[in-house]
Amino acid sequence: MNRPDSEAQQRERIRTTIHADADAACAVVAGELAALIRERQAAGRTVVLGLATGSTPVRLYRELIRLHREEKLSFRHVVTFNLDEYHGLPRTHPESYWRFMHEQLFDHLDIPPENIHLPDGTVPRAEVFGACRAYEEKFRAAGGIDVQILGIGRTGHIGFNEPGSGRDSRTRLVTLDALTRRDAARDFLGETNVPRHAITMGVGTILEARRILLLAWGEGKARVLADAVEKTPTDALPASFLQGHPGAAFHVDPAAASALTRQCHPWLVGTVAWTPGIARRAVVWLSQTVRKPVLKLLEEDYSEHGMADLLTEQGPAYGLNIRIFNELQRTITGWPGGKPDADDTHRPERAMPARKRVVVVSPEPSDDVLGMGGTLRRLVDQGHEVTVAYITSGNLGVPDEEAAMAADLVVELAGAGEETKFAQTVRRQLEAKTAFEGDTPEIRRLKGVLRRGEARASLQACGVTAPHLRFLDLPFYEQGRYRQFRAGERDVGTVATLLREVQPHQIFATGHSADPSSVAAVSFAVLRQALARTNGEAWRGDCRVWLYRGPDRDWAPAEIAMAVPFSPHELTQKIQAIYHHKSQRSQSPVVAAGLHEAWQQAEQHNRAIAVRYDQLGLAEYEAIEAFERFPDL
Ligand code: F6R
């Protein structure tokens, strides 16, 4: 077991470093690898690296490529073994790990091809066992793995060791978990295309590496990461077995670290400076833990839950309860754009100007209504000038069948014109398209048009009409692939131009703590850069940024700075607006049977926030949409 570095880390059983962001973490990890590679090279010895795929290590690989190009780091003496590979995919498949590794790393280095090893996903089923043994034999013969790089799946898997994988498991064929397959669905253009099996090094195999560096980014990993680091090791969460390894270290960004006790409940692991924000979080947590409304919390509730010093500083209990209750109460407003002519001292949003210019930034069409459809409608109804800016076309998310149907409609309606020719071309291209092949520009265009149509219909249901919709179709998305997007000057320039033109008083945005490779996170990074570029311009002095979240991201009530409640009827309207995104309906019959349709998630999400407010002793609403305030830049 690892010794914690500080009192705050006392529950952590794996050395975990929280970096400013993923790039900062990758610089440190790449630095460690580079030092080892150079040291071995000087001694005329090789280094054996265990490598991972997925979105997590992409930035690390970019940094290694940079070190190679700019700082002459040579990989001639590096031998690599990858963790895993899908079974049944040829190497040339766009989603094969073989191809991923070559495109993302090996093709850009001076590593000899014979030094590169991945499990062979093409061996026939009957020969897999022997091939797995031979793979292990190879890295043993190479001297064993010096440093193993890992990501972590939302199921807690490392490699493809899904829950149930034992501590001693070896390299073998495994069946992928439903959640893992769902996470891969976008890359494979539909969950049904995701392979069911993979070959992976086992947990026992991974634990034999001399050093293990696990990386994790984004709030989506927060829960599983905290459990892996703080809870008793169990095969229900294979990453937790890393606790037994003296050379294991986790490098994470603040979003992935957010569920560690030192981050979310610091009062449980030491003394804290009781800022108003931490006090509010602690009282809300106490109320939820002892299942009492805030106004009924007693002195003993505080002292029995590690919060006696908060009472000493800011008590007595009842006074503190009232203060926090009022703070929570004041987050609730039916006026997300501010209430004209009202005293706004304690309101989340300022009263003036009464009619605000608002920009809702939606990474893909549908993020807007999913995250804030009810609020959007309110803003429009209350007379604000609302512009919805779709950062990307979202065309990668449209199934082929939808595009085929749209092309057929055009052919049937448009007679002999150019539109028909275009639609016929798309139809032919769709028919010629082999499984998993990327889309032609024509197919992407049609898919983008489809999503625009859905967005228009959806927003019409929210009262936002055509002149205020902006489809920015940013190039980072049009030219990119899932998990590998890279924003550039043109992306930032387009968003900055829009902001300068509208000069908004309010911006609603999302993606701030998402996985940095996701569309939402890249879109948010572009917005931030655009904001940085417009710093100092007059309109910026009167512009606030509010953050919304998708229905897959939970809210702790203490994080909420503005809670917009709505009526049962308004909730129905929001759901109807989401229905219009027909191409985004779940593709999998398994998933569709559960609560996984986007509209279902949104409904449940908005109701859940209302229930939580109710349990704190606040008013009981049907549903709530929540927002955080982004610090002024
Ligand atoms: C990849 C691998 C997986 C991933 C994990 C996280 O070789 O073995 O365990 O590390 O699924 O995936 P991303 O990084 O895409 O979130």
10-55 confidence digits (pLDDT tens): 899 999 999 999 999 999 999 999 999 999 999 999 999 999 999 9
Q: What is the DSSP letter of 237?
A: B
Instruction: Tell me, yes or no, whether 265 lies in a domain.
Output: no
Residues 186 and 290 in one domain: no
What tokens were used for 397? Answer: 């998310």
The answer, yes or no, to whether residue 554 has pLDDT greater than 80, is yes
**Atom 2, ligand 1: residue with shortest CA distance:** 159
CA of 42 to the centre of ligand 1 (A): 33
Q: How many angstroms separate the CA atoms of 145 and 52, rounded?
A: 13
Residues 377 and 289 in one domain: no
Residues 59 and 170 in one domain: yes
Indicate the number of domains in the chain. Answer: 3
The 3-state DSSP composition of the chain as helix, strand, coil percent (nearest 5) reads 50, 15, 40
Of 205, 229, 256, which residue is a domain's last? 256
Instruction: Tell me, yes or no, whether 415 lies in a domain.
Output: no
Residues 245 and 314 in one domain: no
Return the ligand 1 atom nearest residue 150 CA.
Answer: 10
Picking from 509, 511, 513, 521, the residue whose alpha carbon sits closest to that of residue 546 is 509
Q: How many angstroms separate the CA atoms of 307 and 38, rounded?
A: 50
> Quick check: 174 and 238 in contact, CB under 8 A?
no
Residues in the chain: 633
Residues 235 and 285 in one domain: no
| CATH for 42 | 3.40.50.1360
The total of other beta-carbon atoms located within 10 Å of residue 11's CB is 16
User: Within 13 Å, how many C-alpha atoms sit on residue 133's CB side?
Assistant: 3
Instruction: Tell me, yes or no, whether 41 lies in a domain.
Output: yes
In sequence order, the 6+-apart residues with CB closer than 8 A to the CB of 81 are 48, 49, 50, 51, 117, 118, 135, 138, 139, 142, 145, 201
Residues 252 and 277 in one domain: no
Picking from 466, 465, 12, the residue whose alpha carbon sits closest to that of residue 240 is 12
Instruction: Tell me, yes or no, whether 406 lies in a domain.
Output: no
Catalytic residues: 162
Q: Where are the beta strands (DSSP E) in 375-526?
A: 385-390, 469-471, 506-509
Q: How far is CA 369 from CA 208, 300, 472, 527, 561, in A?
A: 48, 44, 17, 19, 20
**Atom 11, ligand 1: residue with shortest CA distance:** 153
**Atom 1, ligand 1: residue with shortest CA distance:** 53
The answer, yes or no, to whether residue 587 has pLDDT greater than 60, is no
Instruction: Tell me, yes or no, whether 505 lies in a domain.
Output: yes
Residues with CB under 6 A from ligand 1: 52-56, 83-84, 151-153, 157-160
The answer, yes or no, to whether residue 589 has pLDDT greater than 60, is no
Probe ligand 1: pick from 26, 58, 61, 83, max atoms within 8 Å of CB? 83
pLDDT one-digit tens code per residue, 187-235: 887 777 889 999 999 999 999 999 999 999 999 999 999 999 999 999 9
Question: At CB < 8 A and 24+ separation, what contacts does 231-234 make?
Answer: 233/167
In sequence order, the 6+-apart residues with CB closer than 8 A to the CB of 135 are 81, 117, 119, 120, 171, 199
593 — pLDDT class (breaks 50, 70, 90): very low
Q: How many angstroms separate the CA atoms of 498 and 585, rounded?
A: 30
Range of the domain at 291: 272-329
Of 231, 256, 281, which residue is a domain's last? 256
Instruction: Tell me, yes or no, whether 266 lies in a domain.
Output: no
> Quick check: 526 and 491 in contact, CB under 8 A?
yes
Q: Which helix (H) or strand (E) holds 393?
A: none
Return the ligand 1 atom nearest residue 159 CA.
Answer: 8
State the amino acid at position 188 in one-letter form: F
In sequence order, the 6+-apart residues with CB closer than 8 A to the CB of 531 are 499, 540, 545, 633
The pLDDT of residue 2 is 58
CA of 55 to the centre of ligand 1 (A): 7
**Atom 12, ligand 1: residue with shortest CA distance:** 54
Residue 306 or 610, more confident: 610
Residues 362 and 296 in one domain: no
Residues 557 and 613 in one domain: yes
Picking from 201, 161, 193, the residue whose alpha carbon sits closest to that of residue 177 is 161
Kind of pairing between the strands at 15-18 and 211-216: unpaired
Probe ligand 1: pick from 160, 224, 517, 519, max atoms within 8 Å of CB? 160
pLDDT one-digit tens code per residue, 475-487: 999 998 877 899 9
Average pLDDT, the chain: 93
State the amino acid at position 446 in one-letter form: L
Cis ω before 353 (30° cut-off from 0)? yes
The pLDDT of residue 122 is 95
CA of 159 to the centre of ligand 1 (A): 7
Instruction: Tell me, yes or no, whether 5 lies in a domain.
Output: no
Instruction: Tell me, yes or no, whether 421 lies in a domain.
Output: no
Tokens 């149509």 -> residue: 453
Return the ligand 1 atom nearest residue 180 CA.
Answer: 11
The pLDDT of residue 592 is 41
In sequence order, the 6+-apart residues with CB closer than 8 A to the CB of 428 are none
State the amino acid at position 523 in one-letter form: S
Picking from 527, 526, 537, 606, the residue whose alpha carbon sits closest to that of residue 359 is 527
Query: What secondary structure does DSSP assign to 264-303, as a single string?
Result: H-GGGGS-----HHHHHHHHHHHHHHTT--GGG--HHHHH
The answer, yes or no, to whether residue 591 has pLDDT greater than 50, is no
CA of 513 to the centre of ligand 1 (A): 18
**Atom 4, ligand 1: residue with shortest CA distance:** 151
Q: How many angstroms separate the CA atoms of 404 and 290, rounded?
A: 55
Probe ligand 1: pick from 80, 99, 157, max atoms within 8 Å of CB? 157
Residues 232 and 373 in one domain: no
Return the ligand 1 atom nearest residue 151 CA.
Answer: 10
Residues 546 and 464 in one domain: yes
In sequence order, the 6+-apart residues with CB closer than 8 A to the CB of 487 are 474, 476, 522, 525, 526, 529
Residues 294 and 203 in one domain: no
Q: Edge-to-edge strands of the sheet including 357-362?
A: 469-471, 385-390, 357-362, 506-509, 544-547, 623-630, 562-566
The answer, yes or no, to whether residue 318 has pLDDT greater than 60, is yes
User: For 137-141, 212-216, 348-352, 550-554, which range has the lowest pLDDT when averaged over its residues?
Assistant: 550-554
> Quick check: 558 and 280 in contact, CB under 8 A?
yes
| CATH for 624 | 3.40.50.10320
CA of 57 to the centre of ligand 1 (A): 8
CA of 341 to the centre of ligand 1 (A): 53
Picking from 102, 103, 99, the residue whose alpha carbon sits closest to that of residue 121 is 99
> Quick check: 193 and 228 in contact, CB under 8 A?
no
pLDDT one-digit tens code per residue, 403-455: 999 888 888 887 778 888 999 999 999 999 876 678 899 999 999 999 999 99
CA of 83 to the centre of ligand 1 (A): 10
Return the ligand 1 atom nearest residue 217 CA.
Answer: 16
Q: What pTM did the predictor assign?
A: 0.92
Of 232, 256, 280, which residue is a domain's last? 256
The pLDDT of residue 547 is 98
Picking from 177, 137, 148, the residue whose alpha carbon sits closest to that of residue 160 is 177
Q: How many angstroms separate the CA atoms of 98 and 100, rounded?
A: 5
Return the ligand 1 atom nearest residue 483 CA.
Answer: 15
The pLDDT of residue 590 is 44
The pLDDT of residue 434 is 77
The answer, yes or no, to whether residue 133 has pLDDT greater than 80, is yes
Residues 323 and 248 in one domain: no
pLDDT one-digit tens code per residue, 51-100: 999 999 999 999 999 999 999 999 999 999 999 999 999 998 889 999 99
Kind of pairing between the strands at 562-566 and 623-630: antiparallel
